[in-house]
């Protein structure tokens, strides 16, 4: 069974958001072994310099990379990434499932994602030109992954 | 004070999603008189014909139009709409606030939105090439509206 892992920086505090994400993790379980890995946000000084932000992003990147298996397909989520329709994304997942035992999606912290992680990406992906809170992006992403499996299995799912 | 209205077809059943949206309605209240209008989904027969779907969409459109004030700026959400960054969307809201007393965003049912409502749009808008459940789209939209006010007021807000 394909493994889907979403590695993100920052823990979800809102109970309601957590319960919506948990519901999709449960539903996805029919199609893929699903794992959410939430790493701790690292402290950033007030009014940080660009260098201080880069240092935090790099430290976060080092933690992220520990959770990426060398055999996995890696999909960093970033603004400059590819934009897919849900149908095209479903085909991306389908073709990845034929090649890789695991797909790892990575959502950085609000400061961004380090270049090293971006460079590990087999593809980079963006869901919107708009910026969403990273925790909401997690819900959006897992919904799209679930939708992709519904599409690939020709199952009905609301639009 | 500017009025923001989100007219949508389909009521939110998930308590968690409702509570997240309610939280943004509350926060938005600082900047705009905010109102969510949720119209009932109309029944669609099993395996509906294209004509049956069009008929439902048109009936839903008639109900939607009742909630659109003639003085309002109208923004139908649809896949062929304009895609904005959050910053550009903030400028759209700012400039609308100088011209209109009210902005009405319209989210159709899962069957779509009738042409009549689309034609009433001063602009049409799309948040993503991906299809999201309409209830999740409501959360995404209200978050972006809130973000727009934070941007326009030069207030800090997480990315």
Query: How do residues B19-75 score in pLDDT, each as one tens digit?
Result: 999 999 999 999 999 999 999 988 888 889 999 999 999 999 999 999 999 999 999
Asked if ipTM goes beyond 0.90, one says yes
Q: How many CB pairs under 8 A join A and B?
A: 75
Residues in chain A with CB shorter than 8 Å from the CB of B143 are 132-133, 136
Determine the Cα–Cα distance for residues B143 and B149; give it in Å rounded to an integer: 10
CB distance B90 to B131 below 8 Å? no
Three-state DSSP at A123 gives coil
Predicted structure pTM score:
0.95
Asked if A85 lies within 8 A of B139 by C-beta distance, the reply is no
Report pLDDT for A71: 96
Q: Where are the beta strands (DSSP E) in chain B?
A: 3-9, 33-39, 73-82, 102-107, 125
> What would you report as the CA-atom Rg of chain A, rounded to the nearest whole angstrom?
15
Asked if B131 lies within 8 A of A86 by C-beta distance, the reply is yes
Is residue B34 assigned to a domain? yes
The number of folded domains in chain A is 1
pLDDT tops 70 at residue A157: yes
Q: Which residues pair with A85 in a beta bridge?
A: none
Determine the Cα–Cα distance for residues B159 and B153; give it in Å rounded to an integer: 16
From B155, B153, B149, select the one nearest B4 (Cα to Cα). Answer: B149
Which of A15, A20, A84 lies closest to B129 in CB terms? A84
Which of A130, A136, A144 lies closest to B89 in CB terms? A130
Determine the Cα–Cα distance for residues B11 and B13; give it in Å rounded to an integer: 6
Structural domain containing residue A83: 3-152
Three-state DSSP at B105 gives strand
Residues in chain A with CB shorter than 8 Å from the CB of B19 are 16
Asked if B159 lies within 8 A of A17 by C-beta distance, the reply is no
Residues in chain A with CB shorter than 8 Å from the CB of B134 are 158-159
CB distance A117 to A58 below 8 Å? no
Is residue A158 assigned to a domain? no
Residues in chain B with CB shorter than 8 Å from the CB of A129 are 83-85
Asked if A85 lies within 8 A of B17 by C-beta distance, the reply is no
How far, CA to CA in Å, does B127 sit from each of A28, A71, A116, A130? 24, 33, 29, 7
Residues in chain A with CB shorter than 8 Å from the CB of B159 are 110-111, 131, 133-134
pLDDT digits (tens, 9 = 90+) for A97-152: 999 999 999 999 988 899 999 999 999 999 999 999 999 999 999 999 999 999 99
Q: Which residues pair with B34 in a beta bridge?
A: B4
- Choice between A157 and B152, residue whose per-residue pLDDT is larger: B152
Find where tokens 């139908």 sit: B76
CATH number of residue A142's parent domain:
3.40.1280.10
CB distance A65 to A117 below 8 Å? yes
Find where tokens 């298996």 sit: A69
Which of B19, B128, B159 lies closest to A131 in CB terms? B159
Which of B15, B83, B86 lies closest to A131 in CB terms? B86
Is residue B110 assigned to a domain? yes
Instruction: Enumerate chain B positions whose Cβ falls within 8 A of a Cβ in A.
Output: 14-17, 19-20, 83-86, 89, 110-111, 127-134, 136, 139-140, 143-144, 147, 158-159
DSSP assignment letter at B134: H
pLDDT digits (tens, 9 = 90+) for B77-110: 999 999 999 999 999 999 999 999 999 999 999 8
Is residue A157 assigned to a domain? no
pLDDT digits (tens, 9 = 90+) for A32-76: 999 999 999 888 888 899 999 999 999 999 999 999 999 999 999
CB distance A82 to A125 below 8 Å? yes
pLDDT tops 90 at residue B156: no
**CA of B119 vs chain A CAs: smallest distance (Å):** 22
Is residue A96 assigned to a domain? yes
Is residue B159 assigned to a domain? no
Q: What angle do CA B75, B132, A67 make, to 5 degrees?
A: 130
Asked if B159 lies within 8 A of A20 by C-beta distance, the reply is no
Is residue B47 assigned to a domain? no
From A39, A43, A65, A40, select the one nearest A53 (Cα to Cα). Answer: A43
Find where tokens 């869901």 sit: A127
Determine the Cα–Cα distance for residues A64 and A83; give it in Å rounded to an integer: 23
Is residue B132 assigned to a domain? yes
Q: Residue A158: how many CA atoms within 13 Å on its side-chain side?
A: 12
Report pLDDT for B155: 87
Pick the residue of B126, B127, B132, B138 with the most A CBs within 10 A to test the interface with A by mutation.
B132
């Amino acid at each position: 069974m394909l493994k889907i892992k979403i590695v993100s920086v920052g823990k979800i505090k809102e109970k309601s958001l957590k319960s919506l994400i948990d519901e999709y993790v449960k539903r996805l379980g029919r199609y893929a072994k699903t794992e959410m890995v939430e790493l701790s946000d690292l402290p950033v000084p007030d009014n940080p310099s660009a260098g201080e932000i880069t240092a935090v992003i790099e430290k976060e990147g080092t933690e992220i990379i520990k959770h990426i298996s060398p055999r996995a397909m890696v999909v960093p989520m970033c603004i400059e990434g590819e934009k897919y329709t849900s149908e095209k994304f479903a085909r991306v997942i389908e073709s990845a499932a034929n090649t890789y035992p695991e797909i790892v999606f990575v959502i950085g912290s609000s400061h961004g994602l380090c270049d090293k992680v971006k460079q590990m990406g087999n593809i980079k992906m963006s869901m919107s030109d708009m910026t969403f809170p990273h925790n909401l992006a997690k819900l959006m992403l897992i919904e799209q992954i679930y939708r992709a499996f519904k599409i690939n299995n020709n199952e009905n799912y609301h639009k």
